[in-house]
Structure 1
Amino acid sequence: MDTKTIFLDACNKIAAQLDGFEIYKKGQRLKKNSLDKDIFFEITFETSYMNAASHVMITPNIAIYSKMLKKWQKEKLKNEFCSGLIYGSHLGYITPHQTWKKWNLAGLNFERSVNEIANNIQKYVLPIFKLFNSKDNAIEFLKNNGTNFNKYAEDSLAPIDFLLYCSDKETAEIFFNNFIKNSISKGKILKFYEQLKTEKEIDLNHSEFYSAGHVKLAYMNDLLIYN
């Protein structure tokens, strides 16, 4: 089989081990709706243009979106390309691998890699998706734990949009402050937040550093930073 066929075969064999997902792009995109139909979950698979007989790579990614958040983002950010993303990650970052993990599908690696990816999705991804089946449960979790969905997942400021839209100011503020408190970039964020107070215009679609756009959004929504 050519490398593209091997890759697509793997995508579909992984999908066969997961319940309730719709299959798109010949297996490269899996989608499932939440109970309220607003939030939906995606698992996508990337490969490499440098594949060869001995190396057929696959990289799984996960994402959680909200249709209503997408509309809110477009209005607030004045950006037609907003996606409604609540949270996204590479599978490797939320598993014991803790890296941008690529699996090899070539030869005898195929079955082992397919099963390992499917098992990792079942163990580490589906519980996150299940949490977001209830917006109230997801909001409460984010308020108390950030995006530390398990002991491998790193904290991310990405859901601040979701909390500003779907919860109250106090909840978003607690989430924001917990992130800052635990961030290795705490000093940079605090300095940047003070700098924003002197800016005449703030471009929400430009990030001076990772997560700067989310910090700006917090500032524009009058979130306070606790002492």
Structure 2
Amino acid sequence: MLTHERRGRDVAVFTCRPGQPLPYRAGQHVTIECAYRPWQSRAYAMANAPRPDRVLEFHVRAAVPAGVSDALVTRLKPGDLLRLSPPRGDLTLDRYSRRDVVFVAGGTGLAPAKAMIDELTRCNRTRWIHLFRGERYRRDFYDREHVDRLALRHPWLTVVRATSEEPDEAGDQAPIADVVTRHGPWPDHDFYVFGSPPMVESTLRRLDRLGVPGDRVRYDIFGTCLR
């Protein structure tokens, strides 16, 4: 393990470098086992596209006490060894699509969205990208400065944040699915949705009502389902 930073009261961002090459695509995940919870492992998505130096970034929220996520957030430190599984998952960017992209990310669902945006920074020339981030409270928007720097660097990236339990900076308060609906319609976009089960289900229902074809919507569950 290389670096470990607390980015909030219950969130850590850490990096590691596998001893051997670990080929993967942005959007995939691995299971992680650490010495503080031996024989236990949980799945986490990489938060960056593959890099020449093989460094991997992970975002973890401590969901419950004494779980793997809690150990990775509260006990992990640089120099610790981690056991990673081979990459899994087929929730990756459609390399042949030229449609604009909408990412809807709740909590640490930001990680796979960020990895895909990282991949797009290396090849995108024509697609507009919209990132909708949802949290319960404003303080929960970890990694905010880095995401804002990405948006400043790449004019094709737009970032919209929504809080469901308190008003945001503009005085608005709404679930992320409502905010995505307001910014529509979305007649010809690819959607990627990452978050807790209720957030994902609510977003999928809204997209269906908007008439977004199901074959343009891909999703995965992150956050509260991981321990």
Task: State TM-score, norm by structure 2.
Answer: 0.34
Bigger Rg, which one: 1
Higher relative CO (Cα under 8 Å, sequence separation at least 6) belongs to: 2
Task: State TM-score, norm by structure 1.
Answer: 0.34
Q: Which has the higher helix share?
A: 1
Q: Which has the higher strand share?
A: 2
